[in-house]
Amino acid sequence: MSVYDFKVLNNKGEEVSLEQYKGKVLLIVNTATGCGFTPQYKGLEDLYLKHHEEGFEVLDFPCNQFAGQAPGSDEAIHEFCTLKYNTTFPRFKKINVNGKEESPLYTYLKSQKKGALGSRIKWNFTKFLVDKEGNVVERYAPTTKPEDIEKDIEKLLK
């Protein structure tokens, strides 16, 4: 099993198979628009622009589970991110990352790499790095800035 076995909904509600990202390095992030870490959108976009041509993708999954910090509709979240941070990477439908209604993708990601709280996601902007074969190779805490992950991304792109 790999991340390629999952289907998710894009921010327009259309089903997307993650198989379309086969052969690419992925950074999967649960995000929020009203969080202290929200400025990380700039760092994520910088990484995306710098390495996209080499086969790198940022997959953005907004999540409102942590202090209600992503309260808007999928459309409002997308508008906020594109206007305030000029993001161009793929954004998906808002999801839950913990609990009974958590996304199956996140159940899988968490089973592959534990964090400080075991498998539970601690907060917004937890990041999972996935290699070109769809294997989860690293999990980063919300406090880890996108630019601090760049060396790991570059190793996987080679």
Please list the active-site residues.
35
Q: Which of 98, 97, 92, 59 is nearest to 77 (CA)?
A: 92
Contact residues for 149 (Cβ-Cβ < 8 A; gap 6+)? 27, 47, 127, 129, 138, 140
According to DSSP, the β-strands at 25-31 and 15-17 are unpaired
